[in-house]
C-alpha cells in the first residue's frame, strides 16, 4: 500500500484503526496483537469508562467565581475537574484538621445566611462518586455548610494578595522556611508538583507559624469572610447562648469603662480648676 493510501485510510478510519493501519504499513503485521492490546487498554479510555461521576451544586459569591474563572481560563484549566481534583486531595486534610470540632446547627445556619447576602451564583460541577461520598461524610460529621467549604477552597486556591497579607504570608516560595520542599526548575515538573498538592505551602505555613498554629479550615478569617467558615464557635454566632453571655460581659466592661472615663474626666477637670486658681493667686 502506498503512503498516500495509508494517509487516506487514516483520515476516514477511527483513531484506533488508523494506528493499526499505520503499524501494519511499518511493521508488516508484526506484533499487531500487542498493538491492539495497548490501544484498547489506554489509561484515559479506561478511566472514562470505569469512573462514575456525580453532579453537585453549590453557591459562591458571583464576584469570587468570576475572578476564579478568569484565572483558570488564563491557565487553560477546566474548573470542574480541577475542583474535583482539589477536593480529593483536601478532604482527608479537612477531616483530620476538624477531627474534634463540629459546628452547631445555629452556626451553620448563620454561615448560610451570611452567604445568601453575598449575591451568590449557583454553580454545577461533576465530581467522582468516591469524592462525593467522602465529601458528604465530612460535611455531615463536622456539620459543615458545603457551599462555605467550596468557597473557602476557591479563596485559598486563588491566593489573593489580600489573603496573604492578612495571613502575613510571603508571596513567593523562596520567602518561606527553607525546610519546605522546593519546586523543580523544569516547568512541566514544577506544574506537576504544584498540581499534586496545590495548597502544600499554605498548609505548611499555617501549621508552622507561631501566629496561627492551625490549618486552612480552622484558621480564623476576617469577620466579613464568615460566609466561608468551616468552623465557628457559638460565642461568635449571634443568637446563641454563648454569644449572649459574651455580649453581656462586654456591655458590663464597656459600662465600667465609661464610668471610669467619667470619673477620670471630673478628676482631671477638678485638678485643672485647682491649678488655674493657684496660678491666678486664688486659694481653693
pLDDT one-digit tens code per residue, 141-180:
999 999 999 999 999 999 999 999 999 998 888 766 667 8
Both 214 and 275 in a single domain? Answer: no
Query: What's the total number of domains in the chain?
Result: 3
Both 29 and 168 in a single domain? Answer: no
Both 177 and 139 in a single domain? Answer: yes
Least confident among 22-31, 98-107, 250-259, 270-279? 22-31
Domain containing residue 276? 240-284
Both 81 and 197 in a single domain? Answer: yes
Q: Is the pTM of this model over 0.85?
A: no
Q: Distances in Å between the alpha carbon of 209 and those of 39, 166, 198, 202, 214?
A: 50, 13, 19, 10, 8
The radius of gyration of the chain from alpha carbons, rounded to an integer in Å, stands at 31
Give the mean model confidence (pLDDT) for residues 32-55: 51
Give the mean model confidence (pLDDT) for residues 229-249: 85
Both 57 and 151 in a single domain? Answer: yes
Both 65 and 101 in a single domain? Answer: yes
Both 109 and 156 in a single domain? Answer: yes
Q: Distances in Å between the alpha carbon of 91 and those of 40, 134, 206?
A: 33, 7, 17
Q: Distances in Å between the alpha carbon of 256 and those of 246, 248, 249, 260, 268?
A: 15, 12, 11, 6, 18
Alpha carbon distance 284, 215 (integer Å): 65
Give the mean model confidence (pLDDT) for residues 106-115: 97
Least confident among 5-14, 109-118, 224-233? 5-14
Both 114 and 247 in a single domain? Answer: no
Residues 174-192 as b or e (16 or more Cβ within 10 Å = b): eeeeeeeeeeeeeeeeeee
Both 139 and 90 in a single domain? Answer: yes
On the 0-12 / 13-18 / 19+ scale of CB atoms within 10 A, 159 is: middle
Residue 213 pLDDT level (bands cut at 50, 70, 90): confident
Both 15 and 66 in a single domain? Answer: no
Both 280 and 139 in a single domain? Answer: no
Both 133 and 204 in a single domain? Answer: yes
Amino acid at each position: 500500500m502506498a503512503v498516500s493510501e495509508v494517509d487516506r485510510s487514516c483520515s476516514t478510519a477511527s483513531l484506533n484503526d488508523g494506528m493499526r493501519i499505520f503499524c501494519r504499513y511499518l511493521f508488516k503485521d508484526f506484533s499487531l496483537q500487542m498493538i491492539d492490546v495497548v490501544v484498547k487498554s489506554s489509561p484515559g479510555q479506561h478511566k472514562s469508562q470505569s469512573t462514575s461521576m456525580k453532579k453537585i451544586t453549590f453557591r459562591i459569591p458571583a464576584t469570587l467565581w468570576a475572578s476564579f474563572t478568569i484565572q483558570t481560563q488564563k491557565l487553560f484549566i477546566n474548573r470542574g475537574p480541577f475542583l474535583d481534583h482539589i477536593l480529593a486531595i483536601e478532604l482527608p486534610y479537612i477531616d483530620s484538621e476538624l477531627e474534634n470540632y463540629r459546628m452547631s446547627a445555629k452556626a451553620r445556619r448563620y454561615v448560610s445566611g451570611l452567604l445568601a447576602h453575598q449575591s451568590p451564583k449557583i454553580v454545577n460541577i461533576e465530581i467522582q462518586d468516591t469524592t462525593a461520598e467522602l465529601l458528604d461524610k465530612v460535611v455531615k460529621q463536622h456539620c459543615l455548610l458545603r457551599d462555605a467549604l467550596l468557597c473557602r477552597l476557591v479563596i485559598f486556591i486563588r491566593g489573593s494578595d489580600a489573603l496573604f497579607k492578612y495571613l502575613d504570608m510571603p508571596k513567593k516560595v523562596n520567602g518561606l522556611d527553607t525546610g519546605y520542599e522546593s519546586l523543580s526548575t523544569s516547568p512541566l515538573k514544577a506544574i506537576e508538583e504544584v498540581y499534586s498538592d496545590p495548597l502544600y505551602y499554605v498548609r505548611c505555613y499555617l501549621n508552622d507559624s507561631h501566629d496561627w498554629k492551625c490549618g486552612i479550615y480552622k484558621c480564623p478569617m476576617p469577620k466579613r469572610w464568615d460566609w466561608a467558615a468551616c468552623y465557628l464557635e457559638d460565642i461568635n454566632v449571634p443568637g446563641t447562648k454563648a454569644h449572649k453571655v459574651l455580649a453581656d460581659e462586654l456591655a458590663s466592661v464597656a459600662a465600667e469603662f465609661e464610668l471610669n472615663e467619667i470619673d477620670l474626666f471630673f478628676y482631671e477637670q477638678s485638678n485643672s480648676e485647682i491649678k488655674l486658681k493657684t496660678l491666678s493667686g486664688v486659694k481653693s
